[in-house]
């Protein structure tokens, strides 16, 4: 079973010649309890995979930028 499930409604879809842009409205979601840490999703526990211009990537180093101002 999926560790994260989204129920969505199609907002719009556009053909961009070399790709498609699909915008969805999230109506509801469920997240496996093991993926939560202090009430937030632990991205490293989720271990997501992203598609970046034809190649795939996983999370690497966690960054903590300094607040502005």
pLDDT digits (tens, 9 = 90+) for 6-56: 999 999 999 998 889 999 999 999 999 999 999 999 999 999 999 877 899
**Helix, strand, coil percentages in the chain from 3-state DSSP, rounded to 5:** 10, 50, 40
pTM assigned to the model: 0.63
Residues 6+ apart with CB under 8 A from 21: 13, 14
Question: pLDDT at position 62, please?
Answer: 79
């Amino acid at each position: 079973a999926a560790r994260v499930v989204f129920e969505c409604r199609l907002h719009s879809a556009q053909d961009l010649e070399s790709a498609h842009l699909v915008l969805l409205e999230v109506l509801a979601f469920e997240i496996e309890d093991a993926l939560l840490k202090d009430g937030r999703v632990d991205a490293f526990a989720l271990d997501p995979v992203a598609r970046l211009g034809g190649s795939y990537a996983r999370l690497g180093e966690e960054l903590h930028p300094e607040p502005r101002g």
